[in-house]
Amino acid sequence: EVQLVESGGGLIQPGGSLRLSCAASGFTVSSNYMSWVRQAPGKGLQWVSVIYSGGRTDYADSVKGRFTISRDNSKNTLYLQMNSLRAEDTAVYYCARVATVVRGIITHQYGMDVWGQGTTVTVSS
């Protein structure tokens, strides 16, 4: 079964660090584009970061320089290292697989088709 399971959320003080994990089963993380998306309480969805199959990464401006997306191929797991946390980072964090199709030299993205259940991060003193 294709599945993503997040862990690592919790209550953390402003300025602290936290690492989220997203364990995949049924598919290979390193062969896919993988993203993190968050949702603040009562708010909409916000894209956070992506790691492409080739290893390149990208981030939303609001987390650039503070968050790092990575993966461990041996564990088939995606990570989000979050440093210098702020109150506005409080949210449910979802990991998701990005569906892609390669046509020629271009990889087309077709939405995030597999999602984890989410893990809650609360930044508060």
Partner 1 sequence: DIQMTQSPSSLSASVGGRVTITCRASQSISTYLNWYQQKPGKAPKLLIYSASSLQSGVPSRFSGFGSGTDFTLTISSLQPEDSASYYCQQSYSTPYTFGQGTKLEIK
Which residues, 50 to 69, sit near partner 1 by CB under 8 A? 50, 58-61
Q: Of the two residues 3 and 15, which places its CB atom closer to partner 1 in the complex?
A: 3
Binder of partner 1 out of 51, 112, 121, 123 (CB under 8 A): 112
**Cα–Cα distance for residue pair 117/125, rounded to 1 Å:** 26
CA distances from 1 to 25, 47, 75, 106, 118 (A): 7, 25, 17, 28, 18
Q: Of the two residues 91 and 116, which places its CB atom closer to partner 1 in the complex?
A: 116
Q: Is 115 in the site for partner 1 (CB under 8 A)?
A: yes
Spatial contact of 33 and 50, defined as CB atoms under 8 Å apart: yes
What is the binding site for partner 1 (CB under 8 A)? 35, 37, 44-47, 50, 58-61, 94, 98-99, 108-113, 115-118
